[in-house]
Amino acid sequence: MSRKAALLGIVAAFVAGAATADPGSLGAPLCGVLKGVGPRTRGLEPEAARAQLVRALVAAFDNDAARLKEVHAHIDEATLKACAKDREVVLVNTKAKSLAEAIE
């Protein structure tokens, strides 16, 4: 690996680690994802429902690794009050105790 590639990797890791989103700022986009995923996952096997949820999140956050890390860290906190009904539908469909568990 070249020195330049190594430095770029270190900078990327630092930026990804330093990015911290306010859970409140994640609420609206996450609620939009849950609102769309809930009906589409009804009746699916839990694993298929979880896969649909993950694909929808990746698409909603443009496959941005730093943002997706924040989503994983704050998904339950950001959606608990903001869209409790949609959250519950997705939890039932994925048979998960938390949304963080559903996307692991």
Per-residue confidence at 73, pLDDT binned at 50, 70, 90? very high
- pLDDT of 2-28, one tens digit each? 444 443 444 444 344 434 556 667 889
CA distance 59 to 74: 18
pLDDT value at 50 more than 80: yes
75 CB-side CA count, 13 A = 26
pTM: 0.76
Look over the chain and give the mean of its residue pLDDT values, rounded to a whole number: 84
Of residues 30 and 19, more confidently modeled: 30
Angle at 100 between CA 91 and CA 45, to 5 degrees: 40
CA distance 25 to 37: 20
